[in-house]
């Protein structure tokens, strides 16, 4: 077994092998609870996005706190969730090709697995797969609510596509996918509100047109960690699909609240734990977490607990932390190396979990899961998973 | 088994599941041969860097073409290489902490595993680990040849550290690690030559000082895909550590030759194969390979075979290809989706290979290995691996 786990339950933080992806379980559990409470207060369902964690263990925790099910971005992720006991999975992305669609249709005989279409080709391919597997697959129609990525135009084009779904014997029209992804990281509340107001308007128009055509929407889904309060209060959306809130990446913390302060509804809960492995320059320490330990599409990670330190010049397996002008020098190299906690950026390159892969695993680095005691402990399933506890749906 | 392989030998390219990391085996094998030939012509050894592939199968192919051994960047990679039959492995990075060093020392009883130090702490920690395991570990001293990342200063400080190594009963001084990483992607030959001239000068000074102190260098190692011809011709370096040449990423192709043309000594051999999964806008197609299928630290990937197309706006699992001004529209969405080949960027987020993991595996996407027939075939070990065929070393 060439890859050794970096920690075992009870191991002190200082002895965890690095680089390690670590979860602060206390912050993580507070984040879970905050989203569940916010949705309950607003009277909408939560269907958290599992692309953030790819772990059925975390999905079970979300369901135990009331989530109606979960979202996945890929069929392979959905397969792992169904195998891990999740009973209601929405693949919130267009799926093309018989191989993936056969898998989706077969899965839908084990649990509710909802497909997503924005094109007649998607409808006919999914219908054919469902027929091959003797399944009846729920389908949502994705509409373009402003991001102009995927999604058919709202209104009449969406209605025509929904009717095409409804005509298929092996499909069932289940509602709308109406996610405004670009708005999530708009920095000011004014920008986010303008984008989501437009999304709400486009979605409401389409929901009304569908209702007039005799096609009520069971699901009107969308929203992310950056905007979910707006969709929750809309009276139009009934399912929130936020995912990043459980770990709260560095980039979301750059969003501003209405009062201009940093967005702090959720806490950072996922970190990369690194060790200083070289310090031959007086103003610079080199840590063992580089390009292969982080995603850099939203910029470099931020050192935690080292005021004034900046992370720069990453290489494949190491990177430098130098000090900002006037900041104190990094602490000197300690006998076992100097541990450093770095906040990860969204998205992290996770791998799907399974029953045999109980830990949340980062890229090669493996991981440890930590609680407030600063000793590793296991992330375990809830003692009594409630399965997919669907609350009464609000039909729009 | 939730993760299905995207291909099996003989499968036509059009049927490979996407996103898939694919190797053009013909180009790959030509790249292997070109480096082996260049080193032989220059009379230096090659010790290719395995962080590019993390696959003992590929390492065996390099050894079969004359490589003296391989480099790894992490002890966990070295363990996989030794398990996979590689007999001479240099961990070209500082290693701190008893856990990793115990593993390195234990490995060094199964094969030649060379450690790397730039600090007395590294020497004492590695010596202690070697003693615990009854091993004698070869050690190279890393010097700062201009990149100012890791590495002790050349000349007297390096000699003092080498003497500290030589005094340890369980260590053996094996030479110098003298890699100029920053120079690899300097765009013009003049910039690369200036940086490597400085590296050669610092290295030569140190080699002479070590010789005067009675410490000859078995290994004087460094160089990468961007500069190896300069180190090879230096008369100072005797081992080339280039790794990226086997796949040749998009960024290296932006380097210029002496005549100003793009650097083309090696061919692109590694691609991400994607499918168009949505096309609701007339000027834009959405493919199923996004932020989690590529590393973006050197910019976005480049579409292959679609003149005028640009890759932009990546999301977690999809991205858009839009056309450049005046370029033809993308081909329309085909019944099985439209395959697209995208050149990956350095570094790709690979995972270590092992005997049970025969394929080069990308991030979640899995992979297929392809040859000129455009049908998947397996990457196999050489029929008669030569093991670590050390050529006579040139002592400096």
Three-state SS across B271-294?
EEEEEEEEEEECCEEEECCCCCCC
* Contact at CB, A97 and B291, closer than 8 angstroms: no
B347 CB neighbours in chain A (<8 A) are 291-292, 316
pLDDT over threshold 60, residue B50: yes
The SS3 assignment for B15 reads helix
Q: What residues have CB less than 8 Å from A319, skipping those under 6 apart?
A: A286, A287, A289, A290, A291, A300, A311, A312, A313
Residue ranges of domains in chain A, CATH in brackets: 13-21+265-370 (2.40.37.20), 26-246 (3.20.20.10)
Please give the pLDDT value at position B138. 98
Whether A149 sits inside 8 A of B313 (CB atoms) is yes
d(CA B58, CA B360): 9
Say which range, A25-34, A64-73, A172-181, B285-294, has the weakest mean pLDDT.
B285-294
Locate B214 and state its tokens. Answer: 């009675």
Mean pLDDT of B56-64: 96
Residues 6+ apart with CB under 8 A from B132: B102, B105
Check: CB of residue A180 under 8 Å from CB of residue A221. no
Whole-angstrom distance, CA of residue A117 vs CA of residue A141: 5
What pLDDT does residue A353 have?
26
Q: Contact A2/B79, CB-based, under 8 Å?
A: yes
Q: What is the arithmetic mean of pLDDT over B353-367?
A: 27
Interchain pair B144, A181: CB under 8 A: no
CB contact under 8 Å between B152 and A313, yes or no, is no
CA–CA gap between residue A130 and residue A142 (Å, rounded)? 19
**For B227-249, what is the mean pLDDT?**
96
* Span of A61-65, A275-279, B60-64, B379-383 with lowest mean pLDDT: B379-383
Per-residue pLDDT, A83: 95
Q: Could A317 and B73 be called an inter-chain contact, meaning their C-beta atoms sit closer than 8 Å? A: yes
Range in A351-365, B83-97, B198-212 the model is least confident about: A351-365
Give per-residue pLDDT as tens, A344-360.
433 332 222 222 222 22
Tally C-beta pairs within 8 A across A and B: 163
Residue carrying the six token digits 């115990």 = B102
Shortest distance between the Cα of B96 and any Cα of chain A, in A, equals 6
Structural contact between residues B62 and B46, judged by C-beta atoms closer than 8 angstroms? yes
Contact A76 B4 (CB under 8 A): yes
Arithmetic mean of pLDDT over chain A: 81
| Residue B355's pLDDT band (cuts 50, 70, 90) | very low
**Chain B partners within 8 Å of A144 (Cβ):** 280
> What pLDDT shows up at residue A370?
53
The per-residue pLDDT for range A280-298, each reduced to its tens digit, is 877 777 888 888 877 777 7
- CB pair distance less than 8 Å for A149 and B320: yes
Q: What is the pLDDT of residue B309?
A: 73
**CA-based nearest distance A297→chain B, Å:** 6
Task: Check residue A273 and give its pLDDT.
Answer: 82
Mutate to test the interface with B, among A20, A80, A96 (most CBs of B within 10 A): A96
Answer yes or no: is pLDDT of B218 > 60: yes
Q: How many Å apart are CA A143 and CA A117, to the nearest integer? A: 9
Sign of CA dihedral A9, A13, A18, A19: positive
Categorize the per-residue pLDDT at B317 as very low, low, confident or very high, splitting at 50, 70 and 90.
low
Neighboring chain A residues of B295 at a CB cutoff of 8 Å? 291, 295-296
CA distance A125 to chain B (A): 9
Rounded-to-integer distance, Cα B163 and Cα B170, Å: 13
Q: Which contiguous run of DSSP H or E holds residue A305?
A: none
Instruction: Give the closest-approach CA distance of B65 to chain A in angstroms.
Output: 26
Question: ipTM value of the model?
Answer: 0.79
């Amino acid at each position: 077994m060439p890859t050794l786990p970096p920690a075992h339950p009870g191991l002190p933080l200082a002895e965890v092998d690095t680089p390690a992806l670590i979860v602060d379980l206390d912050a993580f559990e507070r984040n879970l609870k905050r989203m569940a409470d916010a949705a309950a207060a607003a009277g909408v369902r939560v269907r958290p996005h599992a692309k953030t964690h790819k772990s059925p263990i975390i999905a079970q925790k979300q369901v135990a706190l009331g989530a109606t099910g979960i979202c996945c971005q890929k069929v392979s992720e959905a397969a792992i969730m169904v195998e891990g006991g999740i009973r209601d999975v929405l693949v919130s992305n267009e799926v093309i090709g018989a191989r993936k669609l056969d898998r989706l249709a077969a899965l839908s005989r084990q649990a509710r697995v909802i497909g997503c279409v924005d094109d007649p080709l998607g409808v006919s391919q999914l219908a054919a797969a469902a027929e091959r597997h003797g399944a009846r697959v729920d389908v949502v129609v994705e509409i373009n609510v402003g991001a102009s990525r995927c999604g058919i135009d709202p209104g009449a084009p969406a209605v025509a596509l929904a009717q095409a779904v409804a005509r298929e014997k092996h499909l069932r029209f289940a509602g709308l996918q109406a996610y405004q992804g670009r708005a999530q990281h708009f920095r000011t509340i004014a920008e986010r509100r303008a984008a989501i107001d437009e999304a709400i308007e486009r979605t409401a128009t389409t929901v009304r047109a569908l209702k007039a055509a005799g096609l009520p929407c069971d699901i009107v889904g969308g929203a992310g960690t950056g905007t979910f309060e707006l969709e929750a209060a809309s009276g139009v959306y009934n399912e929130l699909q936020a995912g990043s809130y459980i770990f709260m990446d560095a980039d979301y913390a750059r969003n501003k609240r209405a009062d201009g302060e940093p967005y702090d509804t959720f806490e950072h809960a996922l970190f990369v734990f690194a060790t200083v492995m070289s310090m031959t320059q007086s103003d610079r320490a080199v840590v063992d977490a580089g390009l292969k330990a982080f995603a850099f599409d939203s910029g470099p990670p931020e050192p935690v607990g080292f005021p004034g330190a900046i992370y720069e010049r990453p290489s494949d397996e190491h990177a430098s932390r130098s000090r900002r002008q006037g900041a104190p020098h990094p602490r000197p190299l300690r006998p076992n190396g100097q541990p450093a906690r770095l906040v990860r950026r969204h998205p992290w390159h996770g791998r799907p979990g399974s029953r045999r892969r109980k830990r949340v695993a980062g890229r090669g680095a493996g991981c440890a899961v930590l609680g407030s005691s600063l000793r590793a402990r296991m992330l375990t399933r809830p003692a009594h998973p409630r399965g997919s506890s669907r609350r009464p749906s609000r039909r729009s």
